[in-house]
A and B are shown apart, each in its own frame.
Chain A
Amino acid sequence: MENSFLIKTKELVKIYPIGWKKLAALDHVNLGFEKAEFTGVVGPSGSGKTTLLNIIGSLDVPTAGSAEVLGKKVEDLSNRQAAALRNHSIGFIFQTFNLLPVYTVFENVEFPLLLLGLSADERKQKVRKALEWVDLVDRAKSKPAQLSGGQCQRVAIARAVVKKPAIILADEPTANLDAENSHNILQTMEELNRELKTTFIFATHDEKVIRYIRRKITLVDGKVAKDEVMNPTKAERKGQ
């Protein structure tokens, strides 16, 4: 079954120098993620959640060990290759939404497709579809500044899914949202996960998120403390 892993980390270590001491943000982490997972990485503040997501997202490189994403070893990628991997296969959702302020909702969602070099027609069609998923078709012409936090995060989700990447990494996606909006976007992501078979990995403290995830990985001091199945779907229950 080795080959069915979309993402695999082997003895993954990330060390940050703090003054003249060294801090192991990730300490020999061995994890595998399969297609269509809906997984949360939880743990106390500073336990290494963001660091893990960043390495999987090829935004950062491990100090030691290996992280293989879609058959590519992150530590071996050049800047360009890492950028291409992110462009084609990974969608990011951030706590602070990170929309481009000068672009409209439509243009923000269109942006990854522009980078992929799709034609105008293709782009328009895909953006429309993505905006339908997040129920924001009527706000296509708005600028991010004119939207609520929840709406912004839905734009960010649309931007992440519009290119139908294999993996979506979401670092505290609900931290800046109220309960209603949090549930709203979690439901959206769950649907997308089911429909598109996209692998979602969350880093979160949020109890609300934990209610939705189907696998919970707990990090403590950069080590995997627990890895448990949650809210199993029917199929998974059958498999057990």
Chain B
Amino acid sequence: MIIPRLALKNLFGAGLRTWLNVVVLSFSFVAIIGLQGIYDGMNNQAVQALTDAEYGGGQYWQENYDPYEPLSLPDAHAPLPEALLGLKDAGLAAPVLIVQGTIYPSGRIQPVLIKGIDPEQSVISIPTHFLAREDIKLPALIGTRMAKNAGLKKGDTITVRWRDAQGTFDAKDVRIVEVMRTTAQSIDRGQIWVPLKKIQELARMPNEASLVVLAQDTEPLKEGLAGWNFKNLEFLLKDITELVQAKTIGGSIMYVILLLLAMLAIFNTQVLSIFRRRKEMGTLMALGFTRVKVIQLFTLEGAMHGVLAALVAAIYGTPLLVLFTKKGWAMPESVDSYGFAIGDKLIPTYGAGLIIGTTVLVLLVTTIVSFLPTRKIAKLKPTDALRGRMS
């Protein structure tokens, strides 16, 4: 117990130097947790938004369906198997039929995906109920990005052209019944949502679908379905997870620099104090300290910078981070173009794992940085130390 007491005393005795180090270190502490929490929040929010609006509890894909291969789309449809129909009727699944089409907003040609979905569905959080309009022949729902891109607004009518199952071109006017705001671009850009029944009819693909979205927390069917492949959430979210990870690595460079800066300050303090406090070490040895104890003392003294920094960081960091989680970050428009489904506001998440992990990391690194310079003490002769000399 004598070593921690002495270490603490020495640390406080050093005054301003200690507090400078502690404050710098606490900055990196708060920055690491703050930044990482933003990325975690980004990830969670994006995952949540995509799960809510698009992926549900996973999707069954018709075996030819491949979102990265537009050429495969004309073949990516098949009648719904019994089992999926059952899920649909139970309200646990929403089939989506995707047909390639073209629109001509103000004379330009623009390819679109026409997506048929049951207006009654509640599996994903698209406001499909707007499509339940008996008075309109072909109601359509689009997102704000699509609306902006194509210069469309609610109430507009536009001609859509597509090829049906036989490859014959057909065209119809659709009426935009609603422009929806959604954070998930992947259900917005270049897409027109229409009632499933209508597009099945028009494309001559009765009772067919390209994919079926399961409701969240719905178990996929036990047995496989011929011609349909189940894609779980992990697979569907892979892209976004990778994207966030890439951003995290980019962001972590900044806090690695911050951490390095703090470590350099502590390392410097340690080297200096080991150089300047030889006589004190000699005295401690004369009083009965072994070299090992002196090393422990000086290491602990340095490592306690980390402990103090954690405390200081907790004092001003906690209210700060709580404020962040309460207020969230207003997201600039430009973030939307990153491809994240975040929305206008980013709510950081500060999990226990993040906080404990960061604390352990900082304490570990501080201890190592504090220990390294003390190895010189191992070779120090008490007599030389007492004279205040280097060996």
A binds B: yes
- Chain B, residue nearest A86 (CB): B288
Q: Give min CB distance, B289 to chain A, whole Å.
A: 6
- Across-interface contacts of A57 in B (CB, < 8 A): 286
Q: Determine the distance from Cα of A96 to Cα of B291 in the docked complex, in whole angstroms.
A: 22
Q: Interface stretch among B58-66, B194-202, B243-251, B380-388?
A: B380-388
- Contacts A83-B285, A84-B288 given; indicate if A103 touches B9 (C-beta within 8 A): yes
Q: Give min CB distance, B82 to chain A, whole Å.
A: 81
Q: Give min CB distance, A90 to chain B, whole Å.
A: 8
Q: Which of A61-102 contact B (CB under 8 A)?
A: 79-80, 83-84, 86-88, 92, 94, 96, 98, 100-102
Query: What per-residue 1/0 map shows which CB atoms of A98-118 lie under 8 Å from chain B?
Result: 101111000000011011000
Q: Interface stretch among B91-99, B102-110, B276-284, B363-371?
A: B276-284
- Across-interface contacts of B279 in A (CB, < 8 A): 96, 98
- Chain B, residue nearest A96 (CB): B279
Taking the complex as formed, is B391 at the interface, i.e. its CB lies under 8 A from any CB of chain A?
Answer: no
Taking the complex as formed, is B10 at the interface, i.e. its CB lies under 8 A from any CB of chain A?
Answer: yes
Residues A54 and B288 in contact, CB atoms below 8 Å apart: no
A101, A102, A103, A111 interface centre (most CB from chain B within 10 Å): A102
Q: Give min CB distance, B353 to chain A, whole Å.
A: 38
Residues A100 and B2 in contact, CB atoms below 8 Å apart: no
- Across-interface contacts of B253 in A (CB, < 8 A): none
B10, B13, B289, B382 interface centre (most CB from chain A within 10 Å): B382
Residues A83 and B386 in contact, CB atoms below 8 Å apart: no
- A contact face: mostly helix, strand, loop, or mixed: helix
Query: What per-residue 1/0 map shows which CB atoms of B316-331 lie under 8 Å from chain A?
Result: 0000000000000000
- Across-interface contacts of A88 in B (CB, < 8 A): 288
- Chain B, residue nearest A87 (CB): B288
Q: Give min CB distance, A159 to chain B, whole Å.
A: 8
Residues B286 and A114 in contact, CB atoms below 8 Å apart: no
- Contacts A79-B290, A98-B279 given; indicate if A54 touches B2 (C-beta within 8 A): no
Residues A98 and B9 in contact, CB atoms below 8 Å apart: no
- Across-interface contacts of B10 in A (CB, < 8 A): 102
- Chain A, residue nearest B2 (CB): A114
- Across-interface contacts of B352 in A (CB, < 8 A): none
Q: Determine the distance from Cα of A201 to Cα of B2 in the docked complex, in whole angstroms.
A: 29
Residues B386 and A112 in contact, CB atoms below 8 Å apart: no
Taking the complex as formed, is B83 at the interface, i.e. its CB lies under 8 A from any CB of chain A?
Answer: no
Besides A83-B285, A94-B286, A112-B287, 15 other A-B contacts (C-beta < 8 A):
A54-B383, A57-B286, A59-B383, A83-B289, A86-B288, A88-B288, A92-B286, A94-B283, A98-B282, A98-B283, A100-B280, A101-B13, A101-B280, A102-B12, A115-B2
Seen from chain B, the residues whose Cβ lies within 8 Å of a Cβ on chain A are: 2, 6, 9-10, 12-13, 279-280, 282-283, 285-293, 381-383, 386
The 3 A-B pairs of least Cβ separation, nearest first, read A87-B288, A102-B13, A98-B283
Seen from chain A, the residues whose Cβ lies within 8 Å of a Cβ on chain B are: 54, 57, 59-60, 79-80, 83-84, 86-88, 92, 94, 96, 98, 100-103, 111-112, 114-115, 159
A-B residue pairs in contact (CB < 8 Å), sample of 19: A54-B382, A59-B286, A60-B381, A60-B382, A79-B290, A79-B292, A83-B285, A86-B285, A86-B286, A87-B287, A88-B288, A94-B283, A96-B279, A98-B279, A100-B283, A102-B10, A112-B288, A114-B2, A115-B289
